[in-house]
Amino acid sequence: MNLQTVVSHLIEEKRDKMIELSDKIWECPEIYFEEHQSSEYLCKALEAEGFQVEKNVAGLETGFIGSYGTGKPIIAILGEFDALSGLSQKKGLAEHAPVVSGGHGHGCGHNLLGTGSFAAAVAVKDYMEQTGLKGTVRYYGCPAEEAGSGKAFMARAGLFDDVDLAFSWHPSTIPSIWNVSTLANYSATFIFNGKSAHAAAAPHLGRSALDAVELMNVGVNYLREHMIPEARVHYAITDTGGTSPNVVQPHAEVVYLIRAPKKQQVTELYERVYDIARGAALMTGTTMEVEFEGTASNLIPNTTLAEIMYKNLTAVGVPTYDEFDKLFAKKIRATLSQGDIDADLAGVDKETAKKLKDKAITEIIPPLGDEAALSGSTDVGDVSWVVPTMQCLTTCFALGTPLHTWQVVSQGAMPIAHKGMLQAGKVIACTAIEAMQNQVIIEKAKAEWKERLEGESYVSLIPENVVPPQKEARV
């Protein structure tokens, strides 16, 4: 039997256990740094499979590493399991129906991501046991990808320094390889403090923190004309200072997320935003302080690994979808706009896009190419600065489904998602095993990685004095 057949058999033997684990994580959605139950599920599952588990790594209460084997090569497989706020949704419905109003939900499919990577790590371990293949496979339990930058803390702590290659994946609508760059980002909360006063009787005695937030936002919006077009700046006012208009607001907060293609560009843009915030404080007679929220480096492509992973993706092939899968995908598709579908196919060549646009479940497409750049960000980027890294995509959602939506949550515990999750596990495991068996692949990937970095070393954007926050799970 070929490698893909052997690995597929290893994962299919434990199919039910993997699906049960993914659904358990789906059922207890926990946001960044609060993933206590989800991480415990994965740690127990790793221990049951014979992995040595180290918890609380890099100061992350919900971060962990499961290891099997000894010596080189060392392969890292990255798993995520954090949810998003406000995206609670019942599964299997093509209409918005929260389980808990305002509650959390796995709107990016990280219940699948963490379990699919776990399936890959277990398959590599099982293959090593059966064949005597030497080396080490590690599962990295990475919290706080959506906000908080768990992998960036791990990279800063040196947890990837001895790793040879790293692999991951992401639930998607189109199966392919993610050999692209992403935007680096930096997020911070700007906190303004002023002085309250009666807004009618003595407004001259007040110093409005809300005015400072509004002036900062106006200033940053004028800045948009004078920054590179690839950059992105987003903000959310998270504290307006109260709900009484006849009180001058003494406290207000705004969170900013700044993105640009390179880390240096993000740093420079952040300094300009910071200066605008200082100016807003001066104009309003308030004080200003900043709290770090998260950061991510830009993702470094690696065509050497992309080619190996794409070969394994096509060899593993797409799952078999029955009429239930197809009908459900069509129902979800009916809730989406043409704009959603067009955006999903952005970057795909015209002929392929034309062929796919009328399909609710799509086929494998070739990688977009290492010159492609996504406007989003991921803390996998920090890992890719330390070690050659590659990710695949598999179909877990109907074509056109935007991430971070209730539609993703609805599909995330359904058969279409389970099939994509297991497919990803097979692809990652095959790629990892192939690299472990062939040192030339590792050496070639590292040579390309060094060339792409152009002599630049990894420097974390996390301020030196910042440590991961300690948060208890919400009930």
Regarding whether 202 and 173 lie in a shared domain, the answer is no
Which pLDDT band holds residue 39 (cuts at 50, 70, 90)? very high
Domain that holds residue 191: 184-296
Separation between Cα atoms, residue 30 and residue 472, nearest integer Å:
10
**Which pLDDT value is given to residue 472?**
60
Q: Assess whether pLDDT exceeds 50 at residue 475.
A: no
Higher pLDDT: 358 or 329? It is: 329
- Sorting pLDDT into bands at 50, 70 and 90, what band is 374? confident
| Main-chain phi, psi angles of 193, to 5 degrees | -125, 130
Average pLDDT over residues 431-438: 98
Residue 385 domain-assigned?
yes
Q: Which CATH number covers residue 54?
A: 3.40.630.10
For residues 167 and 190, membership in a common domain is answered with: no
Q: pLDDT, tens digit, for every residue of 69-110?
A: 999 999 999 999 999 999 999 999 999 999 999 999 999 999
> Which of 320, 312, 310 has the alpha carbon at shortest distance from 12?
320
Same domain, 29 and 156: yes
Query: Out of 150-164, 277-291, 347-361, 394-408, which region has the weakest mean confidence (pLDDT)?
Result: 347-361
Q: Considering the domain boundaries, does residue 458 fall inside one?
A: no
* pLDDT averaged over every residue in the chain: 95
- CATH code (residue 197): 3.30.70.360
Pairwise CA distance, residues 123 & 137, whole Å: 10
For residues 162 and 251, membership in a common domain is answered with no
Do 392 and 285 fall into the same domain?
no
Q: What is the pLDDT of residue 473?
A: 52
Give Cα separations from 450 to 130, 152, 156, 389, 459 (angstroms).
Answer: 34, 20, 19, 12, 15
Which residues, including other chains, have CB under 8 Å from residue 225's CB and lie 6 or more apart? none
Decide if 475 is inside a domain: no
- Say whether pLDDT at 436 is over 90: yes
Are residues 175 and 71 both part of a single domain?
yes
Domain boundary among the residues 234, 263, 296 is at 296
What total number of domains does the chain contain?
Answer: 2
My answer on whether 241 and 322 are in the same domain is no
472 domain-assigned: no
With CA atoms as reference, report the closest residue to 38 among 46, 47, 49, 28. Answer: 28
Check whether residue 175 and residue 201 sit in a common domain: no
pLDDT digits (tens, 9 = 90+) for 172-181: 999 999 999 9
Task: Identify whether residues 78 and 173 lie together within a single domain.
Answer: yes
- The mean pLDDT of 357-375, rounded to a whole number, is 83
Shared domain for 177 and 209, answered yes or no, is no
Q: Is the dihedral of CA 5, 8, 14, 16 positive or negative?
A: negative
Q: Has residue 312 been placed in a domain?
A: yes
- 168 pLDDT band, cuts 50/70/90, is very high
pTM of the model: 0.93
459 falls within a domain: no
Q: Within a domain: residue 16?
A: yes
Considering 250, 270, 296, which residue would you say is the last residue of a domain?
Answer: 296
Percent of the chain topping pLDDT 70: 99
The answer to whether 473 touches 30, Cβ cutoff 8 Å, is yes
Are residues 160 and 231 located together in one domain of the fold? no
141: left (phi over 0), alpha (psi -120 to 50) or beta: beta
N residues, the chain: 475
- Does residue 169 share a domain with residue 193? no
**Which helix (DSSP H) or strand (DSSP E) does residue 351 occupy?**
helix 350-356
Of the candidates 276, 296, 316, which is a domain's last residue?
A: 296
Has residue 160 been placed in a domain?
yes
